[in-house]
């Protein structure tokens, strides 16, 4: 059978697609890059904002239009929160809620009586990871969250915390490495909570991955800035664990963090970042900030800007608050007027850009191993590759002889900053 997989939203959705493609392939089915060629279409939806739900709905309809003959399977947060609406939608043959998505391939094969053909599994072919133009493998380590941040619908859509076993995670990383992956990215909803339900911890898991796999690069996706095990940053003494963490702060004012029901206040957050930077000089911390949370006063806003400047971030994802139906925050009073939100977002973007340029300049002169991911051609026909440093700064290099660098790690001299694009310019030293 030919299966086409599509995901919207977060890296966890991408990681689930990775898992499913491995399972369909080991059952002898083929993963195809385009919907019209498929017998089964699988969509992993997102509902983090109302916009995201709208995008999921439109993509669901588009997949059906592109291939009305195929079986259409819809999973993910939108399909979980609006299960009836999705089940009644034209062309949808199966809805798999988040609590059952770890078994999605088996459910699909049973429901549609797809034959199991393990022999076919050995068929050579481009691995789904690279077929999707990706060099980094997102690995789901856990799902769900015990917390109830007032703006968050994810905790509602994904339910309680549940960790995958260490053995399963290590096996998946080894399988992906055998297929050529050079970097694994650990992802989940509340990564810091890993192991709380199976008598393990994030510390133990990372330690075991570094011991029981040879993956050259191990990275974290987004990690809530609490519940991290003691001595966590000692793990970064192993250079395979890359010195970058995305720690969502959301606001720099404790009064707002209280209204958000966030577990980490500004003082704890600052000491966490300081600990990371003590563990590895040049440790890059990036973050998320919500602008215009209900009731955000001018004073709270000034507090956020001053705090962000005092901590310093390599990059900030800045979200303008929009009420999400089904969350507590959507019922909070004193919405911030749109023009004020817009103006504050512009101020924070400018601050973010200034900080980023500062951190980029600090990288100049260093020699670091870069994993090259994709290429484009400049007007002169030269090939320009893009990759990331261990501490997650984007680097470009022009290769004269049209060399192929996809998925290769080279020692790279960082010799400048392209201020407009906010990327580092590098020159190749030697292959690693
Ligand atoms: S910790 Fe993260 S996933 Fe959990 S409720 Fe808060 S924002 Fe949502």
**What ligand 1 atom has the least distance to the C-alpha of 158?**
3
From 9, 155, 161, give the residue whose CB has the most ligand 1 atoms within 8 Å, as the site to mutate. 155
From 189, 222, 262, give the residue whose CB has the most ligand 1 atoms within 8 Å, as the site to mutate. 189
**What ligand 1 atom has the least distance to the C-alpha of 145?**
4
Task: Flag residues of the chain having pLDDT under 50.
Answer: 122-126
How high is the pLDDT of residue 119? Answer: 55
Quote the distance between the C-alpha of residue 336 and its chain's center. 29
Cα separation, 157 vs 185, whole angstroms: 23
How high is the pLDDT of residue 132? Answer: 56
Q: CB of 21 within 8 A of CB of 57?
A: no
How high is the pLDDT of residue 118? Answer: 57
DSSP type of residue 10: S
Query: Is 38 a pocket residue for ligand 1 (Cβ < 6 Å)?
Result: no
Q: In the CATH scheme, what is the code of domain 131-363?
A: 3.80.30.20
From 48, 152, 249, 288, give the residue whose CB has the most ligand 1 atoms within 8 Å, as the site to mutate. 152
**What ligand 1 atom has the least distance to the C-alpha of 148?**
5
- What is the pTM for the complete model shown? 0.91
Ligand 1: distance of its center to the CA of 222 in Å?
11
Cα separation, 399 vs 387, whole angstroms: 13
Cα separation, 291 vs 368, whole angstroms: 35
Torsion, Cα of 292, 320, 16, 205 (10° steps): -50
Ligand 1: distance of its center to the CA of 237 in Å?
29
Q: CB of 73 within 8 A of CB of 108?
A: yes
From 190, 223, 256, 257, give the residue whose CB has the most ligand 1 atoms within 8 Å, as the site to mutate. 190
How high is the pLDDT of residue 133? Answer: 56
E strand segments, 216-366:
217-220, 244-246, 284-291, 315-320
How high is the pLDDT of residue 149? Answer: 96
Q: Which protein residue has the closest C-alpha to ligand 1 atom 6?
A: 149
Ligand 1: distance of its center to the CA of 226 in Å?
11
Topology, domain 2-121: Rossmann fold (3.40.50)
Query: Is 145 a pocket residue for ligand 1 (Cβ < 6 Å)?
Result: yes
Query: Is 264 a pocket residue for ligand 1 (Cβ < 6 Å)?
Result: no
Ligand 1: distance of its center to the CA of 397 in Å?
38
Ligand 1: distance of its center to the CA of 37 in Å?
38
CATH match for 367-431 among 1.10.1060, 1.10.3470, 2.40.50, 3.40.1840: 2.40.50
Ligand 1: distance of its center to the CA of 147 in Å?
6
The most distant pair of C-alpha atoms in the chain lies apart, rounded to whole Å, by: 65
**Could you state, in order of their start, the residue ranges of all structural domains in the chain?**
2-121, 131-363, 367-431
Q: Which protein residue has the closest C-alpha to ligand 1 atom 1?
A: 147
**What ligand 1 atom has the least distance to the C-alpha of 151?**
7
Cα separation, 254 vs 258, whole angstroms: 6
Cα separation, 430 vs 413, whole angstroms: 10
Cα separation, 21 vs 32, whole angstroms: 10
Query: Is 1 a pocket residue for ligand 1 (Cβ < 6 Å)?
Result: no
DSSP type of residue 33: S
From 156, 191, 224, give the residue whose CB has the most ligand 1 atoms within 8 Å, as the site to mutate. 224
Cα separation, 401 vs 121, whole angstroms: 37
DSSP type of residue 247: -
Q: CB of 424 within 8 A of CB of 364?
A: yes
The CB density around residue 295, as the number of other CB atoms within 10 Å, is 15
How high is the pLDDT of residue 120? Answer: 55
How high is the pLDDT of residue 124? Answer: 46
- Dihedral sign (CA 197, 198, 204, 209): negative
**What ligand 1 atom has the least distance to the C-alpha of 152?**
8
The residue assigned the tokens 């493998």 is 137
The CB density around residue 2, as the number of other CB atoms within 10 Å, is 15
Query: Is 226 a pocket residue for ligand 1 (Cβ < 6 Å)?
Result: no
Cα separation, 5 vs 25, whole angstroms: 12
Query: Is 191 a pocket residue for ligand 1 (Cβ < 6 Å)?
Result: no
Cα distances (angstroms) measured from residue 39 to each of 30, 42, 73: 10, 10, 11
Q: CB of 44 within 8 A of CB of 7?
A: yes
Cα separation, 232 vs 229, whole angstroms: 5
Q: CB of 12 within 8 A of CB of 45?
A: no
Ligand 1: distance of its center to the CA of 169 in Å?
22
The residues with which 418 forms a beta bridge, in sequence order, are: 423
């Amino acid at each position: 059978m030919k299966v086409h997989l599509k995901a919207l939203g977060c890296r966890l959705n991408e990681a689930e697609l990775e898992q499913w493609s491995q399972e369909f392939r080991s059952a002898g089915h083929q993963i195809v890059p385009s919907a019209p060629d498929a017998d089964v279409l699988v969509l992993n939806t997102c509902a983090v904002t109302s916009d995201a739900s709208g995008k999921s709905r439109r993509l669901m309809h588009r997949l059906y239009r592109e291939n009305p003959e195929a079986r259409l399977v819809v999973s993910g947060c939108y399909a979980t929160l609006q299960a009836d609406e999705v089940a009644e939608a034209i062309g949808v043959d199966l809805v798999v809620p988040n609590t059952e998505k770890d078994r999605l391939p088996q459910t699909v094969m049973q429901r549609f009586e797809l034959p199991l053909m393990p022999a076919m599994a050995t068929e050579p072919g481009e691995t789904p990871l690279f077929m999707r133009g990706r060099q980094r493998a997102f690995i789901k380590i856990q799902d769900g969250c015990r917390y109830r941040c007032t703006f968050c619908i994810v905790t509602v859509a994904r339910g309680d915390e549940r960790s995958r076993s260490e053995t399963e995670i290590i096996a998946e990383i080894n399988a992906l490495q055998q297929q050529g992956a050079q970097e694994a990215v650990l992802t989940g909803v509340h990564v810091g909570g890993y192991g709380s339900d199976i008598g393990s911890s994030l510390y133990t898991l990372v330690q075991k991955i570094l011991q029981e796999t040879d993956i050259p690069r191990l990275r974290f996706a987004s990690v809530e800035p609490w519940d991290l095990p003691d001595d966590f940053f000692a793990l970064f003494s192993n250079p395979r664990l890359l010195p970058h963490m995305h720690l969502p702060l959301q606001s720099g004012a404790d009064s707002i963090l209280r209204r958000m029901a966030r577990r980490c206040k500004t003082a704890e957050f600052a000491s966490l970042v300081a600990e990371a930077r003590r563990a590895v000089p040049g440790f890059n911390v990036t973050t998320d900030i919500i602008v215009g949370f209900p009731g955000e006063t001018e004073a709270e806003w000034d507090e956020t800007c001053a705090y962000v400047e005092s901590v310093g971030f390599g990059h900030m994802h800045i979200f303008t608050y929009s009420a999400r139906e089904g969350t507590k925050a959507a019922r909070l009073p004193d919405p911030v007027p749109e023009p004020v939100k817009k103006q504050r977002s512009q101020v924070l973007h400018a601050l973010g850009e200034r900080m980023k340029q500062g951190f980029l300049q600090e990288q100049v002169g260093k020699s670091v191993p870069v994993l090259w991911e994709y290429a484009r051609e400049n007007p002169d026909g030269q090939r320009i590759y893009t990759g990331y440093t261990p501490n997650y700064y984007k680097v470009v290099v022009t290769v004269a002889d049209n060399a192929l660098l996809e998925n290769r790690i080279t020692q790279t001299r960082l010799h400048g900053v392209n201020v407009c694009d906010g990327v580092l310019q590098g020159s190749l030293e030697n292959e690693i």
